[in-house]
Amino acid sequence: MANESFARLLIRCADQPGIVAAVTSFLFQHGANITELDQHSTDPIGGKFFMRLEFQTPKLDLSRQALEQAFAEAAGRRYNMDWHISYAADRPRMAVLVSAHDHAALELLWRWQRGELLVDIPCVISNHDTLRAAVEGFGIPFHHVPQNTAEQRAEAETRMLELLGEDADFLVLARYMRILGPAFVARYPNRIINIHHSFLPAFVGADPYRQAYERGVKIIGATAHYVTADLDQGPIISQGTAHVSHSDEIDDLRRLGRDLERQVLARAVRWHVEDRIIVDGNKTIVFD
């Protein structure tokens, strides 16, 4: 089926008998064909229940609004669900924030150009002007918003919010080497994805590859996570590792790390776009 013929339903609620039957029966009764179903329970008795369904929509007998109202009445309120339906035809709008390192941002733009990342990209914002030509080569607007000191942060973030307006559903920090303020982060709850060049929770903060080298670690990693007001403490989405040895210098670790960062970030963004992530507190359930 064409991409636009799919919808996705995410559910989080207390685990109890009858949830799967209620949901699948409802969709069947209204002409949906379920093509993918994943579920997870933390404990069958008194635990939490998580579900992701993907279903075909061409034969639905209700409009979107009517379907969602009917689902709320048939199952949502009955099981006290936190639920959301999204439609694959509605391409999410992804804005990218980047500093001077180009590898993570260009990986996303390349995948977008090839049709592997089904999003619209309204703009790329950077605190450096270095990547303007590369970004504009993809036909994407590039905005330079300087932020060289902590004192400039409030002004820079105000300007970025003006540029983003209502045009971005979520943000990706593709090695954006500036800390975002709590008010900015609060505008996009669980909708800012960051790539941290470390296998969190190890080596938080600046220059983790140097920290790893100085500790003589044998594994380095990269972590994609949602951004919260606490630095590098948000819910983890995806991680990757690579083995290193005593013969590797800091530059070797950074080179290997860049490859990890590209892969891990692209995977996390795809999972977000495909509604494969449910955030539960400071943890994620990922149906990959």
Integer Cα distance of 45 and 24 in angstroms? 22
Q: Whose CA is closest to 170, among 91, 240, 85?
A: 91
Which helix (H) or strand (E) element contains residue 186?
Answer: helix 182-186
Residue 252 falls in the annotated catalytic set: no
Among candidates 12, 8, 9, 10, which has minimal Cα distance to 281? 12
Work out whether the CA dihedral 109, 169, 147, 202 comes out positive or negative: negative
**Of residues 232, 248, 275, 280, which has the active-site annotation?**
232
Beta bridge partners of 277: 286
CA gap 104, 266 in Å, rounded: 8
Is the peptide bond preceding residue 189 cis, with omega within 30 degrees of 0?
no
The catalytic residues are 232
